[in-house]
Structures are given as C-alpha cells and as structure tokens.
Amino acid sequence: MVNFGYTILPVHILELDKADLKLANSITFDEPSFKLCIACGSCTATCTAGTFTNFSFRQMCHQIKLGESTQAIEESEKCMLCGKCTLTCPRNVNTRNIIRLVRKAKQTL
Ligand code: SF4
Ligand code: SF4
C-alpha cells in the first residue's frame, strides 16, 4: 500500500480546567496579534525549519493555548527566525515576536 505519510495521532487527553495559561496570557499581553491566529497553517506550510525538522508554528500556538508551555518552549528552539511565516500569515500575526517571547519565557519557567 502507498504510504502517504499520514498516521493516527496518539491519544492526547487534556484537562482544560487545570491548564496553566500563564504563558498564553503573557504572550497575548506582549504581542496582541497572537489572538488573531486562525490556525490556517500557512506558516507551517512555508516554514524553513519545518523542512528539516517536525517544527510547526501552528502546533506550537496550540500548545501555548492548551497550557503545554514546556513543550511549546522546546518546540520554539527549532525555529530559525527566518521570517517567512510572518510574510505568509494572512492575519498579520507577528510570528517571530511570538517565538522570541516563548524563548524568553524559558528563563522564567
Ligand atoms: S499563518 Fe498566521 S493565522 Fe495561519 S496558522 Fe500561522 S500564525 Fe496562525
Ligand atoms: S521564522 Fe521560524 S517558524 Fe517562521 S518560517 Fe522561519 S523557521 Fe519557520
């Protein structure tokens, strides 16, 4: 059978009532365009780092919004800060500043 590269995602259970949204709130405060993301995936489709790793800016945003701060910070390290995602984002999300803020959060967590 042809392998198209799609697989079923592993089971992932979240307790949203207990999610720690400190990182999401501080990023929204410092970079309000974070709220404008519609998870369209244009950034991920054009991501330079995504060509060499499994990095996805869109997925990292989801991790932040779900309170998975440690995973988001770890993911942010893969970004090369090339800025292509900023150019392709239809919502003008300041993606590079969000990456910068996520990396900065590593010092406080
Ligand atoms: S391109 Fe912009 S709106 Fe689309 S997922 Fe990326 S950051 Fe969000
Ligand atoms: S700045 Fe980072 S997230 Fe955006 S396209 Fe470049 S490597 Fe990907």
Ligand 1 nearest-atom number relative to CA 58: 5
Question: Rounded CA gap, 14 and 66, in Å?
Answer: 8
Give me the mean pLDDT over the 87-103 stretch. 97
pLDDT score of 108? 81
- Taking a C-beta distance cutoff of 8 angstroms, is the pair 80, 48 a contact? yes
Q: Quick: pLDDT tens for 7-21.
A: 887 888 888 888 999
Ligand 1 pocket, 42 CB below 6 A? Answer: yes
Output b/e per residue, 42-79; b: 16+ Cβ within 10 A. bbbebbebbeeeebbbbbbbebbbbbbbeebbebbebb
* Residue 101 burial (10 A CB sphere; 0-12, 13-18, 19+): buried
Alpha-carbon separation of residue 95 from 15, 18, 34, 92, 106 (angstroms) = 27, 27, 8, 8, 17
Question: Rounded CA gap, 60 and 76, in Å?
Answer: 7
The proportion of the chain whose per-residue pLDDT surpasses 90, expressed as a percent, equals 79
Give me the mean pLDDT over the 23-49 stretch. 96
d(CA 33, ligand 2 centre) in Å: 16
Give me the mean pLDDT over the 58-82 stretch. 95
d(CA 33, ligand 1 centre) in Å: 10
Ligand 1 pocket, 66 CB below 6 A? Answer: no
